Amino acid sequence: MTAAEYLAIATAVFAALAIAWYGFTASGMIRPLFLPSPGQVISRLRELWISGQLAADAGISIYRIGIGFLISTVIALPIGVLIGCYRAWEAAIEPFVDFIRYMPVVAFVPLTILWTGTGDVQKFLIIFIGTFFQQVLLIMDNVKSVPRHFIDLGRTLEMPEWRILQRIVLPSALPGIWDSMRISLGWAWTWLVVAELVAATSGLGYRITTAQRFFLTDLIFGYLLLLGILGLATDQIMKFAGRRLFHHREVA
């Protein structure tokens, strides 16, 4: 399948959904309070865009996810690599990570508010709890899937352990790690909006909660669409960057 065909199919699905949405609302079967029309949603978004509200809400959310995700990734990387390489460290850390990983992130929201208040730090903390433990395990698996023979090659060349790690294991695991980052970034968005829905004074999630109080369904829909578009865009950008960075990896 060519890239153009792929794009055509993907666009067709979006177009079909948009038409179905329009058809439903135009038929008058559903009250606009439950499902506003595309026109309503677009004009609401435009209004918020002109007032600067939309950019401000999106900006603060992107800032929070940027910092939260960065903190999580920077700490998860060395730990994931360490437990991927050494059994003893795996024994020390992996079961603990699994233990925390299964605790619902939502349940940490009241605790984190208690600990840090309702500011940005609490958002970072929720994003961290939601992504860090997943990232550690994903990165561990990426490192473990480095072919045994690559490491043997390093040994036969008398490379010291740290040099094998630096010159063979890391570059070999990098495309997989990149993919893990891409996947965990998607989860991070979810946790950010959860945190903003519960306790915040700004951001996309906060705006959705206040819209609910005034039955502004068109705003809720508009921001949901915006979140989807932001997610799709970051995912596509990371995929594209990954293909460019690791273009020669695709083995025939």
Partner 1 sequence: MLARKLVIAGLGKTYRTGRGETVALKDVDLDIDENEFVALVGTSGCGKSTLLAIAAGLETQDAGVISIDGVPITMPGLDRGVVFQSYTLLPWLTALGNVEFALKAAGTPNRDATGIAQAHLALVGLDGFEHAYPSELSGGMRQRVAIARALSYRPKMLLMDEPFGALDALTRHHMQELLTAIWEKHRLTVLFITHDVEEAVYLSDRVAVMTNRPGRIKSIIPVPLPRPRRYELISTPEFRKLQLAVLEEIRTESMAVAALGKVLA
Query: Is residue 128 a contact partner of residue 68, using CB atoms and an 8 Å limit?
Result: yes
In three-state secondary structure terms, 119 is: coil
Q: How far is the CB of 161 from partner 1 (least distance, A)?
A: 12
Q: Where are the alpha helices (DSSP H) in 52-86?
A: 53-85
The answer to whether residue 158 forms part of the interface with partner 1 (CB under 8 A) is yes
Applying CB under 8 A, among 23, 78, 171, 228 the residue interacting with partner 1 is 171
* DSSP type of residue 146: S
Applying CB under 8 A, among 1, 29, 107, 251 the residue interacting with partner 1 is 251
Q: Where are the alpha helices (DSSP H) in 108-216?
A: 108-116, 120-144, 148-156, 161-164, 170-198, 204-213
How far apart, in whole angstroms, are the C-alpha atoms of residue 206 and residue 235? 24
The answer to whether residue 147 forms part of the interface with partner 1 (CB under 8 A) is yes
The rounded Cα 107 to chain-centroid distance in angstroms is 19
- Whichever of 5 and 250 has its CB closer to partner 1, that residue is 250
Applying CB under 8 A, among 149, 162, 213, 244 the residue interacting with partner 1 is 149
Total of residues contacting partner 1 (CB under 8 A): 23
In three-state secondary structure terms, 183 is: helix
The answer to whether residue 243 forms part of the interface with partner 1 (CB under 8 A) is no
The answer to whether residue 178 forms part of the interface with partner 1 (CB under 8 A) is no
Query: Is residue 45 a contact partner of residue 54, using CB atoms and an 8 Å limit?
Result: yes
Q: How far is the CB of 178 from partner 1 (least distance, A)?
A: 13
- Whichever of 148 and 213 has its CB closer to partner 1, that residue is 148
The answer to whether residue 159 forms part of the interface with partner 1 (CB under 8 A) is yes
Q: Cα dihedral angle (139, 141, 146, 151), rounded to 10 degrees?
A: 90
Residue written as tokens 């519960």? Answer: 198
Q: How far is the CB of 58 from partner 1 (least distance, A)?
A: 36
- Contacts with partner 1 by CB under 8 A lie at 147, 149-150, 152-159, 163, 167-168, 171-172, 174, 246, 248-252
